[in-house]
């Protein structure tokens, strides 16, 4: 179980400075990453020098320089707040340039993400449960054309006991999701305000959400309606997330494909555990295509999945890179 170094002080910082529980959770995750280093050095991170703080940021495995800067911003706020406890009056992070953060991020342009990279590196860092549920459900294959499977998603479509989501657009098909995804969906349904980051004030602004039984909700405004969200809302939120994390290729399609790669990895792991050859057959691609509603080829009364298209991203290279699996595809 994750723990905090000097927990009482850090929880005091969170409770005094942040009302939003999701923001507290995001910063708490940063503290979880700093704990092993604090433990080794036997001191709280408010007494760290710049190199030691750099190690904390590096240990958080930021997917981009933007994420590294966000982590640095939280650390700066904590160190400033902890001035009465510090041995020095200097805050080593204050005044560092944006370029300093570049050294901690992956410089490659990521197109596909492992489950850990997406959930821990992106989703868990998001301020809004609405955004967390959006990305998590796309990863599970629930999206549709123009987000058509997400717009009508309603409280009554969720079986909270079995982790099944009924997708109306698929004629009532039920999709099984993980406990973690279910938690995001529940928190999205319960969310009351939507946080937006203000670059000038370096703080988050809270905007009221229109309450309804839909999972995804509109922000309250004179023209907003209390019903299904418009598809443009999802596009705007995805663009904002992509820009905030400086991840150029974090798109609905790349997230969906990443989910398909994850399912491929799971199927291969099952074969390996059963002593079978780690090789994806057509039946495996069929399972993946069925879940993610991949487009089919129709020819002379027959329909089938074009495995050539699937292999463009479900291939030995991505499986090795993302899940360290050597497989024949």
Torsion, Cα 53 55 59 61, to 10 degrees, reads: 90
Query: What is the tally of structural domains in the chain?
Result: 3
Phi and psi for 103 in degrees, rounded to 5? Answer: -65, -20
When pLDDT is averaged across residues 238-249 and rounded to a whole number, the result is: 89
When pLDDT is averaged across residues 166-174 and rounded to a whole number, the result is: 92
Using only C-alpha atoms, what is the Rg of the chain? 22
Among the candidates 198, 228, 250, a domain finishes at 250
pLDDT at 292 over 80: yes
Average pLDDT, whole number, for the chain? Answer: 90
What percent of the chain is modeled with pLDDT above 90? 60
CA distances from 81 to 69, 72, 87 (A): 18, 14, 13
- Does residue 77 sit within a domain? yes
User: Can you spell out the DSSP letters for 269-329?
Assistant: HHHHHTT---B--HHHHHHHHHHHT--EEEETTEEEE-HHHHTTTSSHHHHHHHH----B-
- Does residue 194 sit within a domain? yes
pLDDT at 1 over 60: no
Residues 278, 237, single domain; the answer is: no
Residues 165, 236, single domain; the answer is: yes
Domain that holds residue 276: 253-323
Residues 161, 212, single domain; the answer is: yes
Q: Residue 44 and residue 262: Cα distance in Å, rounded? A: 37
Global pTM value: 0.77
């Amino acid at each position: 179980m994750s723990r905090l170094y000097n927990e009482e002080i850090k929880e005091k910082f969170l409770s005094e400075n942040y009302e939003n529980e999701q923001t507290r959770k995001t910063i708490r995750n940063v503290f979880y990453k700093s704990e092993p280093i604090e433990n080794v050095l036997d001191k709280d991170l408010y007494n760290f020098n710049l190199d030691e703080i750099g190690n904390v940021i590096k240990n958080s495995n930021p997917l981009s320089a933007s994420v590294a800067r966000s982590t640095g911003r939280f650390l700066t706020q904590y160190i400033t707040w902890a001035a009465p406890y510090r041995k020095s009056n200097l805050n080593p992070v204050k005044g560092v340039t944006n370029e300093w953060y570049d050294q901690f991020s992956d410089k490659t342009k990521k197109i596909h993400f492992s489950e850990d990279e997406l959930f821990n590196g992106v989703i868990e860092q998001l301020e809004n449960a609405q955004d967390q549920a959006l990305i998590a459900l796309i990863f599970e294959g629930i999206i549709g054309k123009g987000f058509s499977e997400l717009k009508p998603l309603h409280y009554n479509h969720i079986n909270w006991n079995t982790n099944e989501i009924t997708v109306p657009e698929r004629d009532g098909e039920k999709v099984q999701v993980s406990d973690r995804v279910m938690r995001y969906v529940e928190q999205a349904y319960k969310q009351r305000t939507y946080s937006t980051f203000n670059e000038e004030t370096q703080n988050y602004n809270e905007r009221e959400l229109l309450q309804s039984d839909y999972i995804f909700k509109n922000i309250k405004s004179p023209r907003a309606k209390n019903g299904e969200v418009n598809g443009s809302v999802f596009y705007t939120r995805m663009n904002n997330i992509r820009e905030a994390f400086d991840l150029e290729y974090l798109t609905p399609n790349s997230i969906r494909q990443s989910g398909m790669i994850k399912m491929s990895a799971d199927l291969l792991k099952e074969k390996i555990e059963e002593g079978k050859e780690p090789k994806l057959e057509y039946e495996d691609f069929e399972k993946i295509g069925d879940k993610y509603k991949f487009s089919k080829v129709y020819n002379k009364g027959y329909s089938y999945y074009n495995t050539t298209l699937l292999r463009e991203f479900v291939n030995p290279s991505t499986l090795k890179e993302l899940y360290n699996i050597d497989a024949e595809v």
